[in-house]
Structure 1
Amino acid sequence: MPDNRGVAYIAPGKVEVRSMDFPTFELQDGPGVHPANVGRKLPHAAIVKCVTTNICGSDQHMVRGRTTAPAGLILGHEITGEVVAVGPGVEFIEVGDLCSVPFNIACGRCRRCKTGDTGVCLSVNPDRPGSAYGYVDMGGWVGGQAEYAVVPYADWNLLKFPDKEQALEKILDLTMLSDIFPTGYHGAVTAGVTSGSTVYVAGAGPVGLAAAHSAQLLGAAVVIVGDLIPERLAQARSFGCETIDVSAGDPKDQIEQILGVPEVDAAIDAVGFEARGHGGDAGHEAPATVLNSIMDVTRAGGKLGIPGLYVTGDPGAVDDAAKEGSLSIRIGLGWAKSHSFTTGQCPVMRYHHGLMQMILNDKAQIARAVNATVIGLDDAPRGYGDFDQGAARKYVIDPHGMVRS
């Protein structure tokens, strides 16, 4: 049996690469594993050799100590892998297949899965609808920032690439299919982006950049990206976006300078609960700022896509209400403007096949848009540190040296 190593959350601000058990067809006890899931049999699973596994901003929330994640939790929900073993219940996935792994784990059998709402599967997390690898309160499925990982319900979850060699050539684009490309696309779709739309994307991290690129693919006339970090704004400009520095003042005023009017057709929150204030309050955390801002800048009858993460437990929040996810949102403003809101995990399987086809046929360049940067597994702690400092990069971990070779 091969060895296995993975990236573990240790304490706020600290991760390290640790030896860990090789995955089996039974969910074992460990940090964060829900007791009701311990011993769960997985005859429907596949074990994958992780070809690429990415660092996500959602991981960073845990590493900053902004969730109730336990020490020792193996991180990572953005996995692309080569199948090395399959359980007796797997019919269509075979050893040797190269596949994208949707970050949200879904059974394919429950009521929600059967209607395409795979982000809120009812069967894989005993605590609540929805699950993910290596994430707090998501059922305790072991994370994939590792050399090997197990994927339950493999026939349902895995997206097999049709040509393995072609896929390896485009792996830096295809690795984004596990999360941020579908998530950004979902944000744009649910915001109603279409041909000729004017769009505001709050946040120029990887999900925000993916949302901006997705808005372009959907035919937006103008995509404006707002952030506090100059390097991230420069990355947004590198593929044709307009940008605003929200530390310089109200986004509404800056949008008017670009468009001639102080509003857009569609807005996307790609920041989430660790939002900072705008203008003179830019240095202070204000978790409702982005939600209130996108209501302010979106026209009457417009839609708001909210792929940014909001949580029900935040021990580091600025006040007691925010510690349990209660924010001072101007819902009256959204109501008065007849806004539509879409929140929650992206149902990756709704989009990933079509986005794969766009990548394979050179219609999408998502790796360039998010500045994909390859690092080794042992470099993961440095990657987390650089990302936390605002690096304008999407770190792609290459555990076996398959990308660089």
Structure 2
Amino acid sequence: MKAVVYVGPRQVRVTTVPDARIERHTDVLVRVTTSNICGSDLHMYEGRTSFAPGRVLGHENLGEVVEIGSAVDRVKVGDMVCLPFNISCGFCANCEKGLTAFCLTTNPDPCLAGAAYGYADMGPYNGGQAELLRVPYGDFNCLVLPEDARDKQTDYVMLADVWPTGWHATMLACVQPGDTVAIYGAGPVGLMAAYSALLRNASCVMVIDHHQDRLTKAEEIGAIPIDDSRSSPVEQILELTQGIGADRGCECVGFQAHDSEGSERPNMTLNALVKSVKFTGNIAVVGLFLPRDPTGRNDLYKRGEMAIDYGTFWYKGQTMSTGQCNVKNYNRQLCALIHEGGARPSWIVSHELDLDDAPEAYAHFDAREKGWTKVVLHPGKAG
């Protein structure tokens, strides 16, 4: 089968690899028809993780079931399914609590919890930027989609990661109707967090970035764009909230945060949120932070550590919640919103391309070139 394979820093190749296949009785085999490039893929693409050359990328996947293991009961051949990026068993202590991002059985490393498709340190599983994908524990992990799935693939594929993660940010931040919300980062996750906050009836959603095309996308849905290259985003947020600060804040950038001059500052957004959110406010951190970063510009960052304004955070009585999204907690209800016409997450998509176009797409997306907000790859279309 054809697949997008990691070669080395800023190098991917579309090449032929052994076909994915049923390996256990509980597996499902999916012919991938739609797979997104995620901002998290870029950390591996840039060579900042332990992702090994030769592995297949892609953890935001949708497709048609073409084969099922003998122990699969619910999922049927021909079903269109979307796969949470979390690979989870459904029966461990964490999965039973809904913490499927921290499954205790699917990662073979006993010191780690959680597994994913085509992702560094999250198990040996290949990704879905390929023609075929093996889905472990298929009955648990496959979200069987409604009958309109073939016509709305760019909407439903967002259920694999980016929209649930944006929704997760609003849940961790405890967004309530009428709240003011500050979202740092207008990449795909930040845009989905803004979209989610508005769906949850926030009264004012402010999105902070310095990429004008991404701020324009935020403005399209009624969010207030804040350009941090013009003046302090904290001051702009305080002005918009009468000096009080936002009720809730969401960090949707991660450790590769850059200031408007292009310098990487991993602690920038976290400290800005502490200053931007009101006393007793809630902060959610869904941007990716790593326990180690060999390319970090100082010893602190290389150890995955950073200087946080904890004194102000403590003094203001704020609450911070973090972690990867447990996709299955949200994907079914968000799927219903798409099916019933209450949401159209595909509005963030800027490019739909063939699988063969992946190397160029990675290069454009990694450079944050104007207009490249969300890339969708089509390995093959369902008949």
CA contact (8 A) 1:273 1:311 kept: yes
CA contact (8 A) 1:68 1:315 kept: no
Residue 341 of structure 2 is matched in structure 1 by 362
Match for residue 314 of structure 2 among 330, 335, 340? 335
Residue 215 of structure 1 is matched in structure 2 by 197
Instruction: Report whether the alignment pairs 1:321 with 2:321.
Output: no
Instruction: Report whether the alignment pairs 1:389 with 2:362.
Output: no
Instruction: Report whether the alignment pairs 1:293 with 2:290.
Output: no
CA contact (8 A) 2:13 2:359 kept: yes
Shift of 1:239: 1.5
Instruction: Report whether the alignment pairs 1:239 with 2:239.
Output: no
Shift of 1:238: 1.5
Residue 136 of structure 1 is matched in structure 2 by 120
Deviations 1:332-371 (A, max 9, x none): 2222222221211100000000000001111112111x13
Structure 1 window deviating more from structure 2 (241-250 vs 144-153): it is 241-250
Match for residue 289 of structure 2 among 298, 303, 310? 310
CA contact (8 A) 1:201 1:224 kept: yes
Instruction: Report whether the alignment pairs 1:94 with 2:76.
Output: yes
**Under a length normalisation based on structure 1, what TM-score does the superposition of the two structures give?**
0.91
CA contact (8 A) 2:182 2:205 kept: yes
Shift of 1:372: 4.5
Matches within 5 A, 1:30-41: none
Matches within 5 A, 1:146-165: 146-163=130-147
Shift of 1:262: 5.3
Change beyond 3 A, Cα 1:262–1:255? farther
Secondary structure of the structure 2 residue equivalent to 1:356: helix
User: After the TM superposition, which segments of 4 or more aligned residues of structure 1 sit over 6 Å from their partners?
Assistant: none
CA contact (8 A) 1:119 1:347 kept: yes
Q: Distance in 2 between matches of 1:72 and 1:328?
A: 36
Give percent identity, aligned residues only: 40
CA contact (8 A) 2:184 2:252 kept: yes
What letter matches 1:355 in structure 2? L
Structure 1 window deviating more from structure 2 (322-331 vs 122-131): it is 322-331
Instruction: Report whether the alignment pairs 1:398 with 2:382.
Output: no
CA contact (8 A) 2:209 2:215 kept: yes
Residue 270 of structure 1 is matched in structure 2 by 252
What letter matches 1:17 in structure 2? V
Shift of 1:79: 0.5
Instruction: Report whether the alignment pairs 1:6 with 2:35.
Output: no
Deviations 1:76-133 (A, max 9, x none): 0001111000111111111001011000110001000001000100001122001110
CA contact (8 A) 1:203 1:270 kept: yes
Shift of 1:291: 0.8
Q: Distance in 2 between matches of 1:325 and 1:220?
A: 33
Matches within 5 A, 1:25-174: 25-26=22-23, 42-127=24-109, 128-163=112-147, 166-174=148-156
Q: Distance in 2 between matches of 1:50 and 1:170?
A: 15
Change beyond 3 A, Cα 1:264–1:230? same
Q: Distance in 2 between matches of 1:352 and 1:312?
A: 28
Q: Distance in 2 between matches of 1:110 and 1:401?
A: 35
Match for residue 22 of structure 1 among 3, 13, 19? 19
